[in-house]
Structure 1
Amino acid sequence: MDAVVGDPRRGHPVALFGRAAAALEKRLYGDARPNGVAHVAICVGAAAGLGALASAAGRTMTGSPKAAQAMTGVTKDGVGGPRAVVEIGVTAAATWAVLGGTTLAREGVRMAESLEAKDIEAARRRLPHLCGRDPRALEAPELARATVESLAENTSDAVVAPLFWGAVAGVPGLLAYRAINTLDAMVGHRSPRYERFGWAAAKLDDVANYVPARITGLLAVLAAPDRGRALRVLRRDGHRHPSPNAGRCEAAFAGALDVTLGGVNVYGSRIEHRPEMGDGPPPEVRDIRRAVRLTRTVSLTAAAIAVLVPALWPRHARRNRARGA
């Protein structure tokens, strides 16, 4: 659904959540960590609760087991019958709502098109769709690096992490993760206003992305033309990034694309010096499309794993129980 339809231009569920979270922030804001903890607890709890209600509704909109068996000829638990159809529909809708892989890839392509046409101003206007870096003084090489780094990090945030938490915790996991990630983008960055209020959102996002970021890095290694080089860069440089998670994604992409990421980043009045990752030259404009292809490959692989592992695991568990019996 995400690949075919993409994100709606208006009324996106994540945007609606963002507006609700911003309204709650106005009521709860205070320059203290407890205020931020309350804000995160209410927002994430509401998202997870909505997911639980949606799952429960899907399980109850199917009629009796006897009716299901009569209509489909399946077992009384409803597997493969109306109950399964409704539950799959609810899960599919929730997954589509939280995935952002298609939009991410499209933004990467648009950046490539603008830079290939040497339209620097257009590329600068597009960069805020990908990251929070100040684009006003960036030239083509810096714009290309920012795009590749954003594609790497957001492949985890927009695709792999939602699929991971959906596989682990179903619809509540999907919605809770997207709430956590959205709050981190809204209040989790360092600034005088959010240094303490946004602490809880930033820390919870780090926890939620710890495993998915490492899965993203390994999938990028598997998709790399030279897997040995990609793995070497991931293991050597992944921990050097200030973020405990983004560095794994960026290092793996750097090794897979044979480029060097990192350097000086400007965020408004704040300047950060990021360690360099990789052994190749700095990214060029042509590397953006290569990064987009890597993003799509990692995303499709993650989707396949998210479907196959939960589907095969119960069968494996039932087989082991039968042997034990």
Structure 2
Amino acid sequence: MRVPHATAYGMALGYLGDLLTGDPRRGHPVAGFGRAASALERRLWRDHRAAGALYTALCAGGTAALAALLARRAGRAGAPALTAATAWAVLGGTGLAREARAVGAALAAGDTDRARELLPRLCGRDPAALDERALARAVVESVAENTSDAVVGALVWGAAAGVPGLAAFRAVNTLDAMVGHRSPRHRNFGWASARLDDLAGWPGARLTAALAAAAGPDPRGALRAWRADGHRHPSPNAGPVEAAFAGALGVRLGGTLSYGGRVEHRPVLNAGGRPVEVADIERAVALSRRVGALALVVCCAARAAGERLTGERVTGEGRR
């Protein structure tokens, strides 16, 4: 039995599941993938790009192949349930909002030490030397970037390739977080994972930036900042997203930060904006939620339209 628009319905159900329950504290499938990927890294690691490329291919390709096998076994009747379960597992909008608000609550209560303790759950930068405004800026930047990585990008690939697209995108994004940073150990080994993540994240990042402009309080400011500053960020995907969020919220992002003891001086995004304040964390979370909901509508509509077009084409060819 064919279920019309099974992928679109499944993604909507998975999004609703994430909205209502968020990520489980234990037993999350993505955490299981991370443990398996770490075990494989210990076996394959060499300070060479070729070794990293093999590692990336095995992890990402193996995930896509397994997801495709499960989708085939589920069949058309089981497609909505499998898509819903996969979408719930890979989407992280509720967890993102929860962690951002936790840091914001600590800052609002004047407990900067607690905010520094919570920040690593949200992003990888060193919190020790960050003051209140720097912590708030880090949260807003992380909310912006992860709206693309944890929500919109997954929906885009789900619309394009169903269950394998959802699972493979999350695998690629997780690999980038694990080995894609430029530490001495991963500068060469993680190169392939980082480049693949750039490629996979490209469409979702542009859709995120566009939706941030559409859903934000200052659409013109978002578009202006995206156009002027998006390309100046070292990440081809984080740049447009963070710039659009900065312009939409009227704040200034970017500047000096530290990752793993390595100091980076990033360009300022939306230089005409004001410094980030604690209250902007909730504004960023609200914008992220609106962007995620709009992305769901866009991606489900695109998938349903594609399925309808394909079905009409097959029917027409059959009649001939």
Q: TM-score over 0.5 for the alignment? A: yes
Q: Which residue of 2 aligns with 1:48?
A: 64
Shift of 1:50: 1.1
Q: Match of 1:285, as an amino acid? A: V
Q: Which residue of 1 aligns with 2:7?
A: none
CA distance in 1, matches of 2:111, 2:218: 33
Q: Do residues 98 (structure 1) and 82 (structure 2) align?
A: no
Deviation string 1:171-207 (CA, Å, 9 cap, x unpaired) is 1111111111111000100011111011111111011
- Listed as ranges, the matches of 1:144-163 within 5 Å are 144-163=136-155
Q: Which residue of 1 aligns with 2:175?
A: 183
Q: Which runs of 5+ in 2 are unaligned?
A: 1-16
The structure 1 residue matched to 2:284, chosen from 291, 295, 302, is: 291
The structure 1 residue matched to 2:304, chosen from 311, 315, 321, is: 311
Shift of 1:312: 2.6
Query: Counterpart of 2:101 in 1: which secondary structure?
Result: helix
Give the 3 Å change call, closer, same or farther, for CA 318–57 of structure 1 in structure 2: closer
CA distance in 2, matches of 1:198, 1:319: 44
CA distance in 1, matches of 2:87, 2:72: 16
Q: Match of 2:285, as an amino acid? A: V
CA distance in 2, matches of 1:322, 1:16: 45
Shift of 1:268: 2.8
Q: Match of 1:10, as an amino acid? A: R
Q: Do residues 231 (structure 1) and 223 (structure 2) align?
A: yes
Shift of 1:316: 4.6
CA distance in 2, matches of 1:14, 1:218: 28
Q: Which residue of 2 aligns with 1:74?
A: none
Query: Counterpart of 1:266 in 2: which secondary structure?
Result: strand
CA distance in 2, matches of 1:90, 1:313: 20
Identity %: 56
TM-score (structure 1 length as normaliser) = 0.90
CA distance in 2, matches of 1:268, 1:54: 38
Query: Counterpart of 1:195 in 2: which secondary structure?
Result: helix
Aligned length: 301
Q: Match of 2:294, as an amino acid? A: T
Deviation string 1:105-147 (CA, Å, 9 cap, x unpaired) is 1111111111000110110011101111100111100000000
The structure 1 residue matched to 2:199, chosen from 196, 200, 207, is: 207
Q: Match of 2:30, as an amino acid? A: V
Deviation string 1:41-74 (CA, Å, 9 cap, x unpaired) is 1111110011101101111xxxxxxxxxxxxxxx
Deviation string 1:193-234 (CA, Å, 9 cap, x unpaired) is 111011111111011111110110000000122211211111
Q: Do residues 33 (structure 1) and 49 (structure 2) align?
A: yes
TM-score (structure 2 length as normaliser) = 0.91
CA distance in 2, matches of 1:150, 1:289: 13
Shift of 1:322: 5.7
Q: Do residues 125 (structure 1) and 108 (structure 2) align?
A: no
Moved over 4 A (4+): 316-325
CA distance in 2, matches of 1:219, 1:7: 24
CA distance in 2, matches of 1:177, 1:314: 21
Give the 3 Å change call, closer, same or farther, for CA 56–283 of structure 1 in structure 2: same
Q: Do residues 275 (structure 1) and 275 (structure 2) align?
A: no
Q: Match of 1:50, as an amino acid? A: L
Q: CA RMSD in A?
A: 1.6
The structure 2 residue matched to 1:172, chosen from 158, 164, 168, is: 164
The structure 2 residue matched to 1:260, chosen from 237, 252, 256, is: 252
Q: Which runs of 5+ in 1 are unaligned?
A: 60-82
- When Rg is computed on C-alpha atoms for both structures, the one with the higher figure is 1
Q: Match of 2:61, as an amino acid? A: G
Q: Which residue of 2 aligns with 1:69?
A: none
Shift of 1:314: 3.2
